[in-house]
């Protein structure tokens, strides 16, 4: 009897340095300050983000790999690092109407690469923003936000 192929996961870590300012036109100056605190500083601030990409899939019987590492690196370089590394996230058109929080950055990166992987399925994009904060986007529909209280 043939054994069903096992699903395996491959995670790869990239570093991305960028600045941002958390601010939305939807809120007043005072509300922005209350929501984002120091991150609402008009001059912005920077992070050395650590972006972790997790790909899952069957192990290719010939190569023994879930996804080709060089192919994944080329995709992330072209679509993510070339665009966002050493940038001001607020200046990117993708964030013209969207606050460049790290939640939004995770989901943006997820959407930019999920259909272009050389193999496997994009399971998650996880970003470490600071020693204490990390964010993750997974391929699941999000509950819409509730009414603002
Ligand atoms: Ni920040």
Q: Is the four-CA dihedral 33, 35, 38, 42 of positive or negative sign?
A: negative
Ligand 1 midpoint to CA 16 (Å): 13
For this structure, is 20 an active site residue? no
The predicted structure's pLDDT at residue 144? 76
Cβ 17 vs Cβ 85: under 8 Å: yes
- Confidence band for 3, pLDDT divided at 50, 70 and 90: low
Cβ 67 vs Cβ 113: under 8 Å: no
Q: Which of 106, 129, 137, 143 is catalytic?
A: 129
- More confident: 3 or 86: 86
- Confidence band for 139, pLDDT divided at 50, 70 and 90: confident
The predicted structure's pLDDT at residue 35? 96
**What CA–CA distance (Å, rounded) separates 79 from 116?**
10
The predicted structure's pLDDT at residue 2? 67
pLDDT digits (tens, 9 = 90+) for 46-69: 999 999 999 999 999 999 999 999
**pLDDT value at 40 more than 60:** yes
Ligand 1 midpoint to CA 118 (Å): 32
**What CA–CA distance (Å, rounded) separates 53 from 113?**
10
**What CA–CA distance (Å, rounded) separates 147 from 19?**
30
> What's the mean pLDDT when you consider all of the chain?
93
Tell me the two tokens of residue 92: 């990117």
- Confidence band for 99, pLDDT divided at 50, 70 and 90: very high
Mean pLDDT of 118-125: 96
For this structure, is 106 an active site residue? no
Ligand 1 midpoint to CA 72 (Å): 27
Give the DSSP per-residue string, 96-128.
SSS---HHHHHHHHHHHHTT--SSSEEEEEEEE
For this structure, is 136 an active site residue? no
What is the pTM (predicted TM-score) of this model? 0.89
Ligand 1 midpoint to CA 46 (Å): 6
**pLDDT value at 148 more than 70:** no
Burial of 20 (0-12, 13-18, 19+ CB in 10 A): buried
Ligand 1 midpoint to CA 146 (Å): 24
Ligand 1 midpoint to CA 19 (Å): 7
What the chain holds in terms of domains, given with CATH numbers, is 7-138 (3.30.479.10)
Q: Which of 52, 86, 128, 136 is catalytic?
A: 86
């Amino acid at each position: 009897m043939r054994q069903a192929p096992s699903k395996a996961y491959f995670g790869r870590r990239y570093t991305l340095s960028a600045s941002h300012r958390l601010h939305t036109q939807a809120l007043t100056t005072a509300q922005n300050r209350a929501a984002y605190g120091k991150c609402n500083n008009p001059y912005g601030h920077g992070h050395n983000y650590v972006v972790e990409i997790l790909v899952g899939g069957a192990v290719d019987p010939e190569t023994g790999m879930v996804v080709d590492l060089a192919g994944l690196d080329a995709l992330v370089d072209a679509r993510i690092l070339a665009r966002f590394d050493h940038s001001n996230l607020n200046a990117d058109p993708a964030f013209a109407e969207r606050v460049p929080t790290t939640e939004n950055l995770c989901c943006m990166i997820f959407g930019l690469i999920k259909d272009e992987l050389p193999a496997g399925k994009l399971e998650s994009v996880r970003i470490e923003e600071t020693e204490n904060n990390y964010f993750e986007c997974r391929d699941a529909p999000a509950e819409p936000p509730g009414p603002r209280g």
